[in-house]
Amino acid sequence: MKLMVVIPCYNEEEVLPETAKRFAAKMKSLVGQSLCSEDSRVLLVDDGSRDRTWEIISALHKENPLFEGLKLSRNYGHQNALFAGLMTARNRYDACISMDADLQDDMDAIDLLIKEYQDGCDVVYGVKNKRKSDSFFKRNTARFFYKLMKGLGVDITFNHADFRLMSRRALNGLASFKEVNLFLRGLAPLVGFQRGYVYYDIRERFAGMSKYPLRKMISFAINGITSFSVKPLRLITGTGVVVFLVSLIMLIYTLVAWLSGNTVSGWASIQASNWMLGGIQLLSLGIIGEYVGKIYSETKHRPRCIIDRYLNGENACPVVDE
């Protein structure tokens, strides 16, 4: 099996040398066990880093043909960088495994991913067992997010990030999704085919800081929700119906009060309903706005990424958007 491991890297100069060293050893052992063929490769995707990441990747490629390098023209974000790598490899490799550069995912789980592939699975999900090394905050916000997605009816695997094996035909399936706002862990199940799961323990980041600050995490979560569920819109409709029913009751109450001459000034009730209704309306508008914004960005059909350079041994041209 000809395997490509795709690793998106954004300002990862601190971890890359170590990551490369471990991958060189890992790939050797995989070839030794006949789990993948000798012409398997590791594709390091530089997502517009500002540090020495690309220099390191170029040097690695020069030293060892195992490493290929793909440089994007600017920072496009983790999902787009990963997608660029997968699409570049998809027609020349039997399967791709996506992994982060920071060594948080267990490398030894790669063997298990490949075994599941050999047993006939086209998409194999790496699932985090416990998240002890994640902070309390990250662990719990992540749990809330997965629960919320499930509640909204999205087919998503609990505690699966982007450590995943996809076969060539699964990747070709993925290529036919044309959305620009990528949320790969939601798209993979939509591709279908037989699934497999591999469980592993997550580690701490080897070095450097997380490239996902809270702001990016929130926008990633909102993107996931609005890309895969319209339930929030229905919720607004539901709220509208309830508020309308309450308003009918209030109307009757007001009329009765007026007819019985009982209309003393009701500052508190007016104040409360003003704020309540105003709040509900603004929130609803905001949610609708999220979807309108998404339509706006999708209809522009901007490219998902632009490639600057591709270092590989085969002189292959990267094709990301067809």
**In whole angstroms, how close is the CB of 177 to ligand UDP at the nearest point?**
20
Q: How far is the CB of 170 from ligand UDP (least distance, A)?
A: 21
The interface partner of residue 275, options being Mg ion, ligand UDP, none and the CB cut-off 5 to 8 Å by kind, is none
Q: Give the nearer residue to ligand UDP in terms of CB position, either 75 or 227.
A: 75
Residue 84 Cβ vs Mg ion, minimum distance, rounded to whole Å:
19
126 binds ligand UDP (CB under 6 A): no
**Counts of helices then strands in the chain (DSSP H, E):** 10, 8
* Cβ–Cβ under 8 Å, residues 110 and 30: yes
Query: Phi then psi for 157, rounded to 5 degrees?
Result: -90, 125
Of 22 and 150, which CB lies nearer to Mg ion in the complex structure?
22
Residue 315: DSSP 8-state: -
88 binds ligand UDP (CB under 6 A): no
Which is nearer to ligand UDP, 35 or 84 (by Cβ)?
A: 84
Segment contacting ligand UDP by CB under 6 A, of 59-67, 101-109, 266-274, 279-287: 101-109
Binding piece for ligand UDP, criterion CB under 6 A, among 34-42, 72-80, 110-118, 240-248: 72-80
Phi (first) and psi of residue 30, to 5 degrees: -65, -45
Site string for ligand UDP, 197-226 (x = CB under 6 A): -------------xxx--------------
The yes or no reply on residue 12 touching ligand UDP (CB under 6 A) is yes
Task: Among 69, 77, 173, 224, indicate the residue that binds ligand UDP (CB under 6 A).
Answer: 77
Q: Using alpha carbons only, how large is the chain's radius of gyration in Å?
A: 25
**How is residue 105 annotated by DSSP?**
S
Decide: is 85 part of the binding site for ligand UDP (CB under 6 A): no
What is the CB neighbour count within 10 angstroms for residue 192?
11
* Cα distance between the two ends of the chain: 26
Phi and psi, residue 49, nearest 5°: -65, 155
Please state, in angstroms and rounded to a whole number, the distance separating the CA atoms of residues 235 and 263. Answer: 35
Please give the DSSP secondary-structure letter assigned to residue 318.
P
The entry of ligand UDP, Mg ion, none near residue 9 (CB within 5 to 8 angstroms by kind) is ligand UDP
Q: Is 10 in the site for ligand UDP (CB under 6 A)?
A: yes
Of the pair 2, 139, the CB lying nearest ligand UDP is at: 139
State CA 307 to chain mean position distance. 20
Look up residue 303 and give its amino acid.
Answer: P
Compare residues 10 and 122 and give the one whose CB is closer to ligand UDP: 10
The DSSP symbol for 14 reads T
Helix (H) or strand (E) holding 240: helix 231-259
Helix, strand, or coil (residue 131): coil
Q: Which is nearer to ligand UDP, 75 or 239 (CB)?
A: 75
Query: Is residue 8 within 8 Å of residue 78, measured between CB atoms?
Result: yes
Q: Scan residues 39-68 and list those touching ligand UDP (CB under 6 A).
A: 47
Interacting residue ranges for Mg ion, rule: CB under 5 A: 100, 102, 104
Q: Which is nearer to Mg ion, 193 or 206 (CB)?
A: 206
Residue 229 within binding range of ligand UDP, rule CB under 6 A: no
Which residue is it, tokens 């290929």? 68
Output 24 or 217, the one with its CB closest to Mg ion: 217
> What is the sign, positive or negative, of the torsion defined by CA atoms of 266, 267, 268, 270?
positive
Q: Given the rule CB under 6 A, which residues bind ligand UDP? A: 8-10, 12, 47, 75, 77-78, 81, 100-102, 104, 210-212
